[in-house]
Amino acid sequence: MDLKKIPHIEEIGNRGVCSGKVTKTSATFDERTKGENKIVKDLKTAILASGLKDGMTVSFHHHFRNGDHVLNFVMDTLAEMGFKNLTVAASSLAGVHAPLIQHIKNGVVTHIETSGLRGELAEEISRGLMEFPIVFRSHGGRAAAIESGLLHIDVAFLGAPSCDPYGNANGYSREDDDGIACGSLGYARTDAKYADHVIVLTNHIVPYPNAPFAIPESSVDYVVEVEDIGDPAGIMSGATRYTKNPKELKIAETAANVVEAAGYLYNGFTMQMGSGGASLAVARFLRQKMIDQGIHARFALGGITSQICAMHEEGLIDKILDVQSFDLDAALSLKKNHLHQQIDAVYYASYLHNSAVNKLDFVILSALEIDTDFNVNVLTGSDGVIRGAIGGHPDTAEGASLSVIVAPLCRGRIPCVVDHVQTVITPGAAVDVLVTDQGVAVNPNRPEIAEKLKAAGIRVTTIEKLRDRAYAEVGMPDPIHYTDKIVGVAMYRDNTVIDVIRQIEE
């Protein structure tokens, strides 16, 4: 064949004339794939093969929450192998990760990126454990940083409740179930897609193909079978319990009334509930309104709970977009309900795209503190110590048409509505309404919402009055003393620096 005779051949992408030779095999699938898989004998082998070097970045997901055994196992192995100066880029860290303290002291880990921090590690870091400040990013901010190269992952270590020999990994198993299921692997999927090397750690190798899968084999380099990826009890309880706390229920009921009065409860609306008793309880009051009015939601987004899945199964929520399954019932719903869709962190909340958060009518979010400019802190406690996580807070607050913060006016003797929050995580401009047990305040940026709430008979006060009442009830706390040392940098969802966290002075 003479290619030159084909008009415009130089404009057609081609690699010359077909030779007619093909590579053909008569062996069965079983015979030909024997030994041709990505399973390596142990973690060390996978690490050596990945080419990890000192000073590189390793990543982890937090779908196993406080039951995670993967991060500690990997970091212990890396320490044993003599690695130094590593960056740990986890989608979040929990109390279970306290052993990182030793790795930081020994110089194995010098940098940390995360959404949140709790427990002993958080205490130590707030007291100045690390030279280099911790970088806190929201779930959307982290996804954007990864896809844009701002955060480059050299090797991702991703725990998976099931994986086949080729690396198709999932957050539950369709084979005989071994009791560990985390549901969505949304955050891990972003790491898998963009990391230079991906090592899946699983306690459950299943036959190929592990379909449907969260992470495709094309993203995975090595599969390591381990005894233990986590403690099912710590990974998730059966179902997120409905709160019976009357104060939380009052806040939740008011928040549901606010959503309705503001005009965002219509047939085909879209929603997200953040974590926290009051926030999750809003679903219960919305459910009744939906039944009474005969309407249903187009989708529910985000961290998904048993309540959301039950409403989906009742036909009240058409579809679920699940970046993280909060409880076992949610994980099992992902397995059995085909309109319960697993999504990755970029799809969920990256500001670089018209991501799912931008399609939210409303989001209900918690807060540790909120100030009179409506700035919200979800990261540092009243003692200045890091004790929380950014999560998707700023992503959803900005993305949703209506962001409602639910918080008690005071927690014990701590006022939650204050003059200035310790750390600004979500700027006031992204926050529309505050619902407390003692009144509702609307951001002056949204006068039309205040009017609608008043028209519906909801008493609206000012955030300054709520602050005054909080201070009148429990007093104004003494200021927290910090040193000049910056121990943490908080990023907004577009990866601009929004605040810093300083070392507490004792």
Partner 1 sequence: MKRYTKDRLRRSMMFVPGNNPGMIRDVHIYPADSIMFDLEDSVAYTEKDTARLLVYNALKTLNFGNKEIVVRINDLSSGLGVMDLEAIVPAGVHVVRLPKTDSAQDVIDCEKEIARIERKHGIEVGSTGMMAAIESANGVLNAREIAHASDRLIGIALGAEDYVTDLKTTRADGIELLFARSMILNAARSAGIAALDTVYSDVNNEEGFIAEATLIKKLGFDGKSVINPRQIAPLHKVFMPSEKDLNKAYAIMEAIEDAKKRGSGVASLKGKMIDKPVVLRAQRLIALHEAGLRMDDGED
**Residues binding partner 1 (CB under 8 A):** 244, 246-247, 249-250, 254, 410, 412, 437-439, 457-459, 461, 465, 472-473
Tell me the closest approach of the beta carbon of residue 351 to partner 1, in angstroms.
37
Tell me the closest approach of the beta carbon of residue 204 to partner 1, in angstroms.
40
Tell me the closest approach of the beta carbon of residue 292 to partner 1, in angstroms.
15
Tell me the closest approach of the beta carbon of residue 350 to partner 1, in angstroms.
39
285's torsion region: left (phi>0), alpha (psi -120 to 50) or beta?
A: alpha
Tokens of 367: 């807060």
Tell me the closest approach of the beta carbon of residue 453 to partner 1, in angstroms.
11
Give, for 233, the enclosing helix (H) or strand (E). Answer: helix 232-235
Distance separating alpha carbons of residues 399 and 359, to the nearest angstrom:
7
DSSP state of 358: G
Q: What is the DSSP track for 141-208?
A: HHHHHHHHTSS--SEEEEEESEE-TT--EESS-SSS--S------HHHHHHHHH-SEEEEEES-B-PS
Which alpha helices (DSSP H) does 400-440 contain, by range?
Answer: none
Are 301 and 365 contacting, i.e. CB atoms less than 8 angstroms apart?
Answer: no
Q: What is the DSSP track for 240-298?
A: PPPP--HHHHHHHHHHHHHHHHTT--STTEEEEE-SSHHHHHHHHHHHHHHHHHT--EE
Tell me the closest approach of the beta carbon of residue 280 to partner 1, in angstroms.
17
Length of the chain: 506
Q: Which is nearer to partner 1, 229 or 259 (CB)?
A: 259
Tell me the closest approach of the beta carbon of residue 365 to partner 1, in angstroms.
21
Tell me the closest approach of the beta carbon of residue 265 to partner 1, in angstroms.
18
Beta-ladder partners of 292: none
Tokens of 37: 């898989």
Tell me the closest approach of the beta carbon of residue 258 to partner 1, in angstroms.
12
Q: Which is nearer to partner 1, 183 or 408 (CB)?
A: 408
Distance separating alpha carbons of residues 205 and 222, to the nearest angstrom:
13
Q: Which is nearer to partner 1, 155 or 370 (CB)?
A: 370
Give, for 488, the enclosing helix (H) or strand (E). Answer: strand 482-491
Distance separating alpha carbons of residues 396 and 367, to the nearest angstrom:
13
Q: Which is nearer to partner 1, 44 or 465 (CB)?
A: 465
Tokens of 395: 């992503």
Residue 33: half-sphere exposure toward Cβ, Cα within 13 Å: 12
Q: Which is nearer to partner 1, 190 or 372 (CB)?
A: 372
Q: Which is nearer to partner 1, 330 or 440 (CB)?
A: 440
Distance separating alpha carbons of residues 166 and 196, to the nearest angstrom:
17
Beta-ladder partners of 388: 117
Q: Which is nearer to partner 1, 31 or 292 (CB)?
A: 292
Q: Which is nearer to partner 1, 150 or 472 (CB)?
A: 472
Tell me the closest approach of the beta carbon of residue 461 to partner 1, in angstroms.
5
Cα dihedral: 404, 270, 348, 369 (round 10): 10
User: What letters, b where the CB count within 10 A reaches 16 and e where it falls short, cover 151-189?
Assistant: bbbbbbbbbbbbbbbbbbbbbbbeeeeeebbbbbbbbbb
Q: Which is nearer to partner 1, 407 or 424 (CB)?
A: 407
Q: Which is nearer to partner 1, 162 or 438 (CB)?
A: 438
Q: Which is nearer to partner 1, 257 or 503 (CB)?
A: 257
Q: Which is nearer to partner 1, 7 or 412 (CB)?
A: 412
Distance separating alpha carbons of residues 59 and 61, to the nearest angstrom:
7
Tell me the closest approach of the beta carbon of residue 284 to partner 1, in angstroms.
13
Q: Which is nearer to partner 1, 165 or 408 (CB)?
A: 408
Tell me the closest approach of the beta carbon of residue 242 to partner 1, in angstroms.
12
Tell me the closest approach of the beta carbon of residue 437 to partner 1, in angstroms.
5
Tokens of 168: 């198709």
